[in-house]
């Protein structure tokens, strides 16, 4: 049951479910997009999350009590997932798995890990029932990931694997967080994959590094002309394993400002994903490279 709470005088917090699911995320996405389209005076900010969202409101213009009533109506109008159309884009995300930079970082902090005698990738493969780390990499690259929210650090995408629940990869975070994580590190924690936009602390298992940035404060690249961050909630990421040579070629394109993400616009319904995720996966991944 949906839970509505006040955050002081200016915020309304809405919890759609206690745990992340594709259904809850799609519902939250539909509600917050409808709310944005309303363009009501007094709505200052809309922050969608995995299975919840928060709205900042000017209480002298739009009273939070009134807002809650409007949000309940929006939820009713979005409750039939068959009628929701999501306009999004599929994005090719090149990843160099087992790169030397994240490897150096994760080995430096083995005393904070569940299994100090293995790498993060080896540990994640074992606890998820894969016979090798290459099988785990293939499972990651063979299915699309939904950007379910963006936040905590500017541009950091939380990505949820679009497969049946029993097939989802899940790993715990480090026992104690690292004090260092390289920029663009590709990590996994719980059921979410992430790319760290900037260097900093972190507790997710580290599998590799993204070749291209997802945060560009100086907006040097064409993909960042409208925003200093690249990911958007609702994006569908396809992680693609690349060689060291391909990685270096992409990095050269980033440095000379010629790099562009490979993207493809897509419109889909949540029901498509939920009823047959394998068919949806084949549709989006196959269409990206045509």
Find how far residue 59's CA is from the centre of its chain. 32
pLDDT of 1 > 90? The answer is no
CA-CA distance, 233 to 221, in Å (whole number)? 20
CA-CA distance, 169 to 148, in Å (whole number)? 16
pLDDT of 58 > 90? The answer is yes
The residues that bridge with 158 in the sheet, in sequence order, are 149
Extract the runs of DSSP E, i.e. beta strands, from the chain.
3-7, 11-15, 43-48, 52-57, 86-97, 145-150, 157-161, 178-181, 185-189, 192-195, 200-202, 205-210, 236-241, 263-268
pLDDT by residue (tens digit) across 180-226?
999 999 999 999 999 999 999 999 999 999 999 999 999 999 999 99
* Model confidence, pTM: 0.93
- The answer to whether the CB of 95 falls within 8 A of the CB of 208 is yes
- The answer to whether the CB of 176 falls within 8 A of the CB of 184 is no
- The answer to whether the CB of 268 falls within 8 A of the CB of 280 is yes
- The answer to whether the CB of 1 falls within 8 A of the CB of 252 is no
- Out of 56-60, 80-84, 237-241, pick the least confident: 80-84
Q: Count CB-CB contacts under 10 A for residue 290.
A: 5
pLDDT by residue (tens digit) across 238-267?
999 999 999 999 999 999 999 999 999 999
CA-CA distance, 242 to 189, in Å (whole number)? 22
- The answer to whether the CB of 250 falls within 8 A of the CB of 211 is yes
- Strands 11-15, 3-7: pairing is antiparallel
The residues that bridge with 89 in the sheet, in sequence order, are 265
Burial of 8 (0-12, 13-18, 19+ CB in 10 A): exposed
Domains and CATH numbers, the chain: 3-80 (3.30.1360.40), 87-288 (2.40.100.10)
């Amino acid at each position: 049951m949906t839970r509505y709470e006040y955050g002081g005088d200016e915020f309304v917090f809405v919890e759609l479910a206690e745990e992340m699911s594709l259904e809850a995320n799609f519902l939250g996405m539909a509600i917050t997009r409808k709310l944005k389209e309303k363009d009501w005076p007094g709505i200052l900010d809309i922050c969608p999350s995995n299975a919840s969202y928060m709205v900042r409101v000017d209480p002298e213009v739009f009273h939070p009590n009134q807002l809650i009533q409007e949000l309940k109506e929006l939820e009713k109008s979005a409750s039939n997932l068959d009628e929701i159309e999501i306009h999004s884009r599929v994005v090719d995300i090149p990843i160099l798995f087992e790169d030397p930079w994240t490897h150096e970082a994760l080995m430096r902090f083995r005393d904070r890990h569940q299994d100090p005698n293995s790498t993060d990738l080896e540990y994640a493969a074992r606890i998820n029932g894969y016979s090798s780390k290459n099988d785990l990499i293939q499972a990651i690259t063979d299915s699309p990931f939904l950007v379910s929210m963006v936040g905590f650090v500017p541009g950091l995408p939380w990505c949820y694997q679009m497969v049946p629940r029993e097939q989802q990869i899940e790993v715990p975070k480090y026992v104690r967080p690292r004090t260092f994580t390289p920029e663009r590190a590709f990590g996994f924690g719980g059921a979410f994959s992430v790319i760290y936009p900037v260097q900093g602390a972190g507790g997710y298992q580290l599998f590799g590094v993204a070749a291209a940035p997802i945060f560009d404060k100086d907006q040097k690249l064409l993909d960042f002309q409208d925003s200093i961050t690249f990911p958007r909630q609702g994006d569908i990421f396809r992680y693609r394993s690349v060689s060291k040579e391909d990685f270096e070629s992409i990095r050269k394109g980033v440095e000379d400002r010629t790099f562009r993400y490979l993207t493809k616009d897509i419109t889909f319904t949540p029901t498509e994903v939920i009823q047959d995720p394998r068919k949806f996966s084949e549709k989006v991944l196959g269409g990206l490279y045509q």
